Each structure stands twice: as C-alpha cells, then as structure tokens.
C-alpha cells in the first residue's frame, strides 16, 4: 500500500468516495437528490484546481491499481478562497447562488473529507490515512489538524478520539450539528 497525492485522472473514483462522506451536502450544492449528478458535479470539482475538493488537496491510499481511501486536507487560512471556486462552479453549472459558513480558519490544516471504499472498510485504511496526516502535517511540519464530525456519527467520533483528536467546540454548519476536533 502507498499513500500518494491524487491526480486529475483519479477524479471519478474520488468523487464517489467524497460523496460517501458528504452526499447530503453535495445535494445542497446541486439543489436536488440525484446521486449520479452529485458524483458528476464532484468529479468536476476534483478535476479542477483552486477549490477545496481539488485533487491538489487530496491524498489517496492505493493498493495495486485500486484506490482504497482518500483524505482531503487544506490550509484553513485558505478556506474562503478555496470555497469560492466551489460557489463559482455551482453558479456556472446550476445557475443559483450557494453559501455556507467556513468550516475552518487560519491555524489548522483542515481535513475536509475522509472516506474509505466500502470494500476496504474494517482493514485499517482509515487509520493509515489519519496516521499519514498526523505524521505529515503535525509531526513533520508542526501544524494542527482539524476536522468536523457529525454528532450523529459516534463511530467516527470514537475513531478520532482514539487517534488523539480532542473536541474544541460545537459548530452548526450545513444544517447539521457538528463537533470541531483538533490534533496538535
């Protein structure tokens, strides 16, 4: 297994993985519940540069030719500008304005999306990706990692707590109650 930066050619599979983590939010972006359209739109974003879901911000865990998981991480200080790329694409593709509060801020590297392919769940892939992020950003660069976890997802919260993340505050975003967690 290797962890490597994502490539534009990974976009179709990455779109599906990202939507496993945030399909309800993508439905808000496209203003309808259509999984195929949600994947198509997310694929456009992943292929592009300069937005929060761009391949530029994603690392993949690959075994052989198969991508088993992804983690999308960017500098929280760039959230507003990276989000603008998403808002612009929503306007271009669907003709409507969309806005949501920033999920992160300066002072942390933000884990925006994190997903493991269903066929690879329970094999430690998620822990591998999180350990990579901790080593790459915290241990080697001295940065803080941040993420949001849905209060209705206790299994994810348990994983993050077991990995050493701590809850720093609650946040309401995308109509959901979330916990903002950090690893320092």
Question: Given this model, what pLDDT does residue 94 score?
Answer: 96
CA distance 177 to 184: 23
Distance CA 18, CA 47 (A): 13
Residue-wise DSSP of 30-95: HTS--HHHHHHHHHHHHHSSSSTTSGGGEEEEEETTEEEEEEEEEEGGGHHHHHHHHHHHHHHHHS
For residue 180, give every residue at least 6 positions away whose Cβ sits within 8 Å of its Cβ, in sequence order, or none: 146, 147, 148, 167, 168, 169, 170, 171
User: Residue 138 and residue 150: Cα distance in Å, rounded?
Assistant: 23
pLDDT tens per residue, range 4-53: 999 999 999 999 999 998 888 999 999 999 999 999 999 999 999 999 99
Q: What is the pLDDT of residue 122?
A: 87
pTM above 0.85, yes or no: yes
71, β-bridge pairs = 59, 114
pLDDT in tens, 104-150: 989 999 999 999 999 998 899 999 999 999 999 999 999 999 999 98
Parse the chain into domains and list their residue ranges: 2-183
The beta strand positions in 64-175, using DSSP E, are 66-75, 109-116, 145-150, 166-173
Write down the CATH number for the domain with range 2-183. 3.40.630.30
Q: Is the pLDDT of residue 174 over 80?
A: no
Inter-residue contact 77 to 105 (CB < 8 Å): yes
Give the 3-state secondary structure of residue 157: helix
What are 47's two structure tokens?
Answer: 């292929």
- At 169, is the pLDDT very low, low, confident or very high (cuts 50, 70, 90)? very high
């Amino acid at each position: 297994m290797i962890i490597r930066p994502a490539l534009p050619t990974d976009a179709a599979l990455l779109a599906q993985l990202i939507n496993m983590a945030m399909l309800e939010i993508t439905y808000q972006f496209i203003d309808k519940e259509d999984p195929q359209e949600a994947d198509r739109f997310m694929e456009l974003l992943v292929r592009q540069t300069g937005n929060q879901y761009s391949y530029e911000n994603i690392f993949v865990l690959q075994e052989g030719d198969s991508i088993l998981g992804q983690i999308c991480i960017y500098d929280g200080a760039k959230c507003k500008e990276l989000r603008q790329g998403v808002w612009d694409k929503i306007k271009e593709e669907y003709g409507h304005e969309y806005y949501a509060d920033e999920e992160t801020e300066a002072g942390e590297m933000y884990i925006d999306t994190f997903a493991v392919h269903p066929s690879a769940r329970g094999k430690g892939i998620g822990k591998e990706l999180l350990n990579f992020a901790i080593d790459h950003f915290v241990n080697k660069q001295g940065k803080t990692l941040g993420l949001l976890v849905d209060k209705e997802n206790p299994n994810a919260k348990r994983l993050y707590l077991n990995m050493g993340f701590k809850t720093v505050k609650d946040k309401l975003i995308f109509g959901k109650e979330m916990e903002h967690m950090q690893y320092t």
